[in-house]
Structure 1
């Protein structure tokens, strides 16, 4: 409108707009990086608060209040420096935006004075009003655009995690599976999991480790070195060894957490490495040392994808001996903080039993629970084995596996011995016998007695 009434005013617009653009491009990168520093330095504060609240009893018991206060002060200083820098940079931009607005008004005033003979007082006032509005709009656009871009660092990080961070392919191995002889399916049909064991497969072991070798990273020593193992249907097999012997690495190889260097893992005669990753893992149940509990109802923890009927979930709770203390609608807090450690582990056991897996892996599942809960877990596992579930147990307490069918002893990733507990204990120089003796006379005697009793029951 002003340009129509007074065309000379259009000559004064490009200069402030050009300077605004240069200023915005200069400031936006710095403000975004300062916002990232603020976000990164705020994370330790939130983690410290969470740790202190969840472990407040331990903090007070060990008189660690001053230590946490000192850590909090350090983290706050670092975050305050980032926040101060971010706010200062925003004000730096704001001051220069306001100076540009004053410059634009000054240029309009100068033009009006030079052309005072040609324009009226009303047009001068209109020029000042629109110049002020234009400067204000450009200033707000410059400031808030840079701040909006800074806030979008959270979206940027989410996009990075979603697309740029290397991850396992959910359908890794699908092409190999579909092209394998005897397993090719018609188009439109999904590949069948290895869970369906046929009646004519009685002579085929349920699980086979065939000379499996694995290392976590190139250049590191082998974590597993030519390990071979066969697990029959309904068989209970324990894996024992000292710390660092490769027990948990065996489970990592089974679930394809790391690629195998040599060898293969077969289930029901099917190479798990040729299956889609999600299918290979769904065919096996696992109970880990650290129970994974979600916030929500007990039924949601048992069946987060709503795949089973309510009666099946209730039966799983009953099998895990939790029905008397936990109902399906019981509210479970984050990480199961309102449950005891034993109840958390039993809930994870119920989750595994609900799926009725042919193979259940127990990775030191009872290493952090009391003896009473350990006994309950072992009773549930024996009941599951009697119904056809094979057990692969990474054992911490040797007394719990004395009645197992087989024991594999690992040392530095290499298999030392494989046999029944009673047979291995007959040789005082065997690696398993030495492990049992290291427990002390009383507990070693209990393990030997349990192994003998188990062999006597089998011979009847």
Structure 2
């Protein structure tokens, strides 16, 4: 029985066909959706969600708040004790030396307590932020893995890379220290205000207006900086996307000497990003000037009230002025950190942005699990099947109904956009039907779990998917098969000799570079065919599997399919018509409907039929195309003549 992870490589392959199979989406304009950008204040639920990710029951955040408050409170107590010592305001029995030792001991004890609280605060902060980062990153990754394939067709890769790189980096490195600094500064500010008000109660009169001024300045700064940061984050996605696209098409860019244009576009994207980043730095300087002015006012008022209206000793007066001086820096830093906190929470906001996106069907439905040997016959039956990509679009498949026999070879033909790949995607439930039924061996596949479905079907896509690693890890990523079975599959697809003589002579442990760049396209396709062989499914789907390879490899693949998959139901989506001429029946699609469905011979007997028209078009291409392309067209004509010369199925019957 296939493992629960068997369909991983198949799903990656399927995703590559979505854009090719959804031409109707382009009627709405751009296939790619605009990136969302939140507006206004960061919601309270995001703060609570981030703190909850620190640990259960808000235990770590609570311990952090208590230790931060205790640390700063003890520091103020230590300063107060120092002022008492300086004014000799605390007398104990004994001589002066003994009294000084008491002062020193108490001062040292308070300092040790503050140090321990600070150490515990730092440890809790590290544990909490690391745990939150891991949890939110895992949550994002799990969500992305469960999103439907159509989501990735509308989201550029750079947008997702931005979430997993820049936003994750901000959450890992910047957000934790920012939370810690803000709460520590808040505790320090409260402690300083308490000290000043204790020494000079008149300062309470100034606390409210000064707090209002601080709040108004902070509010103006946060409103602008928050939106600038969001714009900056959104502006980074096109940079990642452009870099990713350039890297994938680097050979083409260099071949057409377009490196300068691509570099200029990259520079333009960087300039667009800087239009958001530079005003953010200017806003930061704007805030600094105003906070310094308010801080000077606080120090002046404290000194004035202490000297004129509050008769206290020199030690307490010095403590009040010192607290005011330190509070200037504390308040400046706290306002900055509160703004930075909200700005950096933008990273959490973007990471959690996809939480509300709809997911695919569950991987397993317990009461709809198929038998362990399913599918045993490979009979596929569709009834009145309607499929569309979005609710606002017209159906792509319209009333499709057909049934295959056991181990029947079905070719699927039609012009671009007729629904060939959509039919395959419906079989894998990449897109869900809006009406109709689809069964395999009597089991309704629309009700079963996706893992149970996809792991039982073999797929060889047009664009072969090869992972960086080894031959072994590509053939058997979950360590399910023996070496003998892998070598047997490689021999059946005529790859064994190539692997044995591969670089380094390591056999199955030979290294495959990223994207399989050290293999030819044909070899990568044969490797995908070997995967399908090892799966042992009774249903094989070939999605234009030979459209990008040379004729020799094409013939090799066709011969392998005819022999190795003789007992399997094979659905072949055809780009080269000669590859389906040997099929038992051919399904011709037109505008999402089945136009013709019969044996190749019967279809070719109808000169007015759609399949005959497709064959004639392919044959005419030999007059205007290159030799290699003309050879393919000639093959179509030759195969058509051969099929017409064959006896009918009734004539072949004993």
Relative to its length, the structure with more helix (as a share) is 2
Partner of 1:42: 236
Match of 1:147 in 2: 340
Instruction: Give the CA deviation at 1:241.
Output: 0.9
Counterparts of residues 159-174 of structure 1 (less than 5 Å): 159-161=352-354, 163-171=355-363, 174=365
- 1:373 matched residue in structure 2: 553
- Aligned residue pairs, count: 438
2:532 maps to which of 320, 335, 352? 352
Q: Select 2:318's aligned residue among 125, 133, 152.
A: 125
Q: Is the 8 A contact 2:385 2:436 kept in 1?
A: yes
- Which of the numbers 424, 443, 448 marks the counterpart of 1:275? 448
Report the equivalent of 1:322.
Answer: 495
Q: How does 1:435-450 map to 2 (within 5 A)?
A: 435-440=614-619, 442-450=634-642
Aligned to 1:186: none
- Give 1:16 deviation, angstroms: 4.3
Distance 2:645 2:469 in 1: 43
Could you tell me how far apart the structure 2 residues matched to 1:455 and 1:101 are?
A: 99
Report the counterpart of residue 396 of structure 2 in structure 1: 223
CA contact 1:402–1:451 (8 Å) conserved in 2 = yes
**1:143, 1:77 → 2: CA distance?**
26
Per-residue CA shift, 1:275-304, capped at 9, x if unaligned?
A: 123322222222222233333333333344
Q: Describe the superposition over 1:251-274 as per-residue Cα deviations: whole angstroms up to 9, x where unpaired.
A: 122122333233211101011112
Q: 2:509 aligns to what SS in structure 1?
A: coil
CA distance, structure 1, for counterparts of residue 483 and residue 208 of structure 2: 70
Q: Which residue of 2 aligns with 1:300?
A: 473
Normalising by the residue count of structure 1, what TM-score does the alignment of the two structures yield? 0.84
Greater CA drift, 66-75 or 399-408:
66-75
Return closer, same or farther for 1:96/1:454 CA change in 2, 3 Å cut-off. Answer: farther
Deviation at residue 63 of structure 1 after TM alignment: 2.6
SS in 1 for 2:446: helix
User: What SS class does the counterpart of residue 440 from structure 1 fall into?
Assistant: helix
C-alpha distance after superposition, 1:314-347 (max 9, x if no partner): 4444444333236443333443344332233233
SS of residue in 1 equivalent to 2:583: coil
Q: State the shift of 1:307 in Å.
A: 4.4
How far the C-alpha of 1:79 sits from its partner, in A, is: 0.8
Q: Residues 319, 43 of structure 1: CA spacing in aligned structure 2 closer, same or farther, 3 A cutoff?
A: farther
Give secondary structure in 2 for the equivalent of 1:369: coil
Q: CA deviation at 1:440?
A: 1.7
8 Å Cα contact 1:236/1:385 also seen in 2 = no
SS in 2 for 1:38: helix
Matches within 5 A, 1:173-212: 174=365, 178=367, 191-193=369-371, 195-197=373-375, 206-212=379-385
The equivalent position to 1:392 in structure 2, one of 558, 571, 574, is 571
Deviation at 1:361, TM superposition (A): 1.1
Q: Partner residue of 1:102? A: 296
Task: Indicate yes or no: 2:423 matched with 1:242.
Answer: no
For the structure 1 residues 218 and 159, does the alpha-carbon distance in structure 2 shift closer, same or farther, using more than 3 Å as the test? closer
2:279 maps to which of 59, 66, 85: 85
What is the CA distance between 1:44 and its match in structure 2?
1.8
Distance 1:374 1:104, change over 3 A: farther
Q: Show structure 1 runs of 5+ residues with no match.
A: 184-190
CA pair 245-17 structure 1, distance change in 2 beyond 3 A: same
The alignment yields a C-alpha RMSD, in angstroms, of 3.1
Structure 1 residue aligned with 2:221? 27
Match of 2:374, SS? coil
Contact 1:322 / 1:343 at 8 angstroms: preserved in 2? yes
Greater mean deviation of Cα atoms: 15-24 or 121-130 = 15-24
Separation in 2 of the partners of 1:311 and 1:18? 78
Distance 2:360 2:407 in 1: 31
* 1:336 maps onto 2:505 in alignment: no
Counterpart CA distance in 2 for 1:197 and 1:63 is 51
Name the CA distance, whole Å, in 1 between partners of 2:481 and 2:267.
Answer: 49
CA contact (8 A) 2:203 2:305 kept: no
TM-score by structure 2 length?
A: 0.61
Q: Distance in 2 between matches of 1:193 and 1:9?
A: 83
Cα distance in structure 1, aligned partners of 2:344 and 2:495: 46
Q: Cα distance 1:384–1:25, how it changes in 2: closer, same or farther (>3 A)?
A: farther
**Matching residue of 1:187:** none
Pairing 1:113–2:113 present: no
Distance (Å, rounded) in 2 between the aligned partners of 1:307 and 1:18: 67
- Separation (CA, whole Å) in 2 of partners of 1:308 and 1:223: 39
Q: What's the offset of the Cα at 1:357? A: 1.6
Asked whether the 8 Å contact 1:291–1:348 carries over to 2, the reply is: yes
Shift of 1:245: 1.6
Report the CA distance shift for 1:152/1:352 in structure 2 as closer, same or farther (over 3 A).
farther
Distance 1:149 1:314 in 2: 57
Contact 2:466 2:524 in 1 (8 A): yes
